[in-house]
Amino acid sequence: MSEWRECKLGDFADIQTGPFGSQLHAADYVDVGIPSIMPTNIGSRLEVRTDTIACIKESDAKRLEKYLVKENDIVYSRRGDVEKCAFITSEQSGWLCGTGCLRVRFISNELLPKFCAYYLSSDDIKGWVSGNAVGTTMPNLNSSILLKLPLTLPPIPEQKSIAAVLSSLDDKIDLLHRQNHTLEAMAATLFRQWFVEEAGEDWEEATLDDVTTRITDGAHASPPTVEYGLPMASVKDMYQWGINTESCRHISQEDFEDLVKADCRPLKNDILIAKDGSYLKHVFVAENDMDVVILSSIAILRPNGKFHPLLLATFLKLDSTKVALENIVTGAVIPRIVLKDFRKFKLSLPPKELQDQALLSIQPLYEKCWENDRQISTLSALRDTLLPKLMSGEVRVVLDKEAA
């Protein structure tokens, strides 16, 4: 550790604020164009989230050229979740560092950008950023604060080796995510072929109420949060294959048990849907009974055997289903599915023998997705364990000749 040195981010990087509202107005955003990275697009693992990203016209991108990002830049939010940052890849080079963001650009070859990105994502540094942000109601970040951010810097060969170890884990996680995306798309294609394109005119018309024993949402009253307890999830804790219990807040054992009795705990083969906000953004089947209770922003459908859970969930994930549900969604600011109308939502019920045939092709795809999700959890836990140990020097990497 004697060769590691204490520095500041400002010794190696320039920091620039994104364009202000007077330079880019709401009317300037378009459906197709140059993506604009906003604070809401900064993910929790250095990624840029593109599911809700806005775009600007090429003419505006040219006008705001000095705010465009390049590969190896880092983008921070100036307000709100200021501890999170995103590392810019070659694919995102040329996108806009949007309003409400800060861009970090490296000007020295003594600091490897990818190493710095991992360093900035460590809990200690995120805590430093949050603790040094200004503002009482909402944290605010500025270039002066980031320039003073402390770095404990190993030599370049060790920076490369540390970044290589963590990148290897991230690459495997990304590969599994992409494989799941492909498998899910295959399941949707097979479903459409079996049950949409080749639907029988004589199939029974049913409602969601007909194919479930229960359609309900979670708790409408939120118990107090405790420091150590059991997880309670809202829609923000959902992802495509389950619930991230690490992001959940915790409630007491007594409150948890009361909510289990109130049937707010998802059971095996239940279908969970995002009911509020980006409705149907996440739809998944519980592989097993879940050790979590849910709030009312999540709904539970409990199939009764007439429509297999995996097939019903696939139906609910279709874009065409989301469009058809628009008439039973209320709320201008936060859209919500109205359950009393949701229960009456109509569908064509395929014959049981046809469902069984389709499941021979579709179920293995979902089982592989579940297996991949478990691997992602394992690799993510390993990455999160290694990251602070590598950044502090508690765990050292063996340098190969090429890196040295």
Q: Please indicate, yes or no, whether residues 225 and 291 belong to a single structural domain of this protein.
A: yes
Tell me the H-state helices in 100-205.
Answer: 113-120, 123-132, 143-147, 156-192
pLDDT of residue 399: 65
Q: Please indicate, yes or no, whether residues 209 and 337 belong to a single structural domain of this protein.
A: yes
pLDDT of residue 331: 77
Q: Please indicate, yes or no, whether residues 11 and 76 belong to a single structural domain of this protein.
A: yes
CB 150 within 8 A of CB 92: no
DSSP conformation letters of 316-352: HHSHHHHHHGGGGEE-SSS-EE-HHHHTT-EEEE--H
Element (DSSP H or E) covering residue 13: strand 13-17
> Does any domain span residue 128?
yes
Q: Please indicate, yes or no, whether residues 125 and 263 belong to a single structural domain of this protein.
A: no
Residue 249's domain spans which residues?
A: 204-349
- Please identify, among 349, 364, 385, the residue that sits at the C-terminal boundary of a domain: 349
> Does any domain span residue 72?
yes
> Does any domain span residue 361?
no
pLDDT of residue 404: 47
> Does any domain span residue 85?
yes
CB 248 within 8 A of CB 237: yes
Strand partners, 232: 249, 293
- Please identify, among 349, 368, 399, the residue that sits at the C-terminal boundary of a domain: 349
Q: Please indicate, yes or no, whether residues 77 and 144 belong to a single structural domain of this protein.
A: yes
Three-state DSSP at 386 gives helix
Q: Please indicate, yes or no, whether residues 213 and 145 belong to a single structural domain of this protein.
A: no
Look up residue 210 and give its two tokens.
Answer: 């007909």
Q: pLDDT means per 10 residues in the chain (404 residues)?
A: 89 94 86 94 91 91 95 96 95 95 96 97 94 89 96 94 96 96 96 94 95 95 93 93 92 96 96 88 94 95 97 95 87 84 94 96 97 96 95 82 49
pLDDT of residue 327: 82
Q: Strand order of the sheet with strand 212-217? A: 212-217, 298-303, 271-274, 283-285
Tokens 């004697």, residue located: 2
Q: Please indicate, yes or no, whether residues 211 and 345 belong to a single structural domain of this protein.
A: yes
Q: How far is CA 293 from the centre of its chain?
A: 20
pTM of the model: 0.86
pLDDT of residue 1: 64
Give the pLDDT confidence of 75-124 residue by residue, as tens digits. Answer: 999 999 999 999 999 999 999 999 999 999 999 999 999 999 999 999 99
Residues 6+ apart with CB under 8 A from 137: none
Q: Please indicate, yes or no, whether residues 314 and 245 belong to a single structural domain of this protein.
A: yes
Look up residue 105 and give its two tokens.
Answer: 């650009």
> Does any domain span residue 70?
yes
- Length in residues, the chain: 404
Q: Please indicate, yes or no, whether residues 115 and 55 belong to a single structural domain of this protein.
A: yes
Q: Strand order of the sheet with strand 230-233? A: 249-251, 230-233, 293-294
Look up residue 77 and give its two tokens.
Answer: 């939010």
> Does any domain span residue 14?
yes
Q: Please indicate, yes or no, whether residues 139 and 276 belong to a single structural domain of this protein.
A: no
Q: Looking at the 3D structure of the chain, how many domains does it have? A: 2
Query: What distance in Å separates the CA atoms of residue 256 and residue 303, rounded to the nearest whole number?
Result: 24
> Does any domain span residue 50?
yes
Q: Please indicate, yes or no, whether residues 139 and 215 belong to a single structural domain of this protein.
A: no
> Does any domain span residue 176?
no
- Please identify, among 328, 349, 370, the residue that sits at the C-terminal boundary of a domain: 349
Domain CATH code at residue 70: 3.90.220.20
Q: Please indicate, yes or no, whether residues 214 and 134 belong to a single structural domain of this protein.
A: no
Query: What distance in Å separates the CA atoms of residue 287 and residue 241, rounded to the nearest whole number?
Result: 9
pLDDT of residue 403: 45
